[in-house]
Amino acid sequence: MRRAACFAVVVVVASAGAAAAQTVLDRVLSNVNGDVITQLDVRQARMLKLRLVNDVAGTDADILRGLENRRLVLAEVSHVALPAPSAADLAAHRRDWEQSVGAGADLPKLLDNAGLSDQGLTAWIRDDVRIQMYLSQRFGGVPDAERPAEITRWLATLREHAGLGKDSNGQLKTQNLELKTSE
């Protein structure tokens, strides 16, 4: 009996020590149709000035909303047969991105600091081109002056269908889950 009590104390003390040594690796902010968006995703988009569908990148909440919109649009893109982006389009978008981060930026170091590989950046740029192709196809018949408002309405519908509206307080719905590891 005494041995069991000592064992229980050791387990409780060991568990408390392990819990105190946990470190938050990342935080899940949203789930878009089963696709998780983390705090790291928001950080990468901010650090690398990655293009978002609505190109609003003020607060973390704005970036999160842009990432959610991007995932929703990419899901729509996956339902349409689009030609593969040309090498010229990919190169042009890459140059545009490089200009957006500023002349003289150490791009490999910037990517490393953001935790994104060059292949990851290339995939992001490829998706950008695919999104632009899709939006041009879908909204090409809408007059230029009306296109942004029409895209905004369409995005609101996608968000509503995905359950990404606003909560009862008018705030963007987010999840507050943490991915942890023990040190």
Mean pLDDT across 73-79:
95
For 91-147, write each residue's pLDDT tens digit: 999 999 999 888 888 999 999 999 999 999 999 999 999 999 999 999 999 999 999
Whole-angstrom distance, CA of residue 21 vs CA of residue 180: 10
Give the highest mean pLDDT range of 14-28, 46-60, 164-178: 46-60
pTM of the model: 0.76
Query: What is the predicted pLDDT for the residue at 104?
Result: 85
Distance set, CA 104 to CA 92, 108, 121, 158, 160 (Å)? 18, 12, 18, 39, 42
> What is the average per-residue pLDDT within 35-62?
84
Cα(147)–Cα(171) distance, rounded to whole angstroms?
26
- In the chain, where the domains are located: 2-182
The answer, yes or no, to whether residue 11 has pLDDT greater than 50, is: no
pLDDT at residue 182 greater than cutoff 50: no
pLDDT higher than threshold 50 for residue 150: yes
DSSP bridge partners of 180: 24
Alpha helices, DSSP H, located in 83-165: 87-101, 107-114, 118-139, 147-161
Measure the CA–CA gap between 53 and 71, rounded to whole angstroms: 9
Give the three-class secondary structure for 31. Answer: strand
Residue 8 has pLDDT above 80, yes or no: no
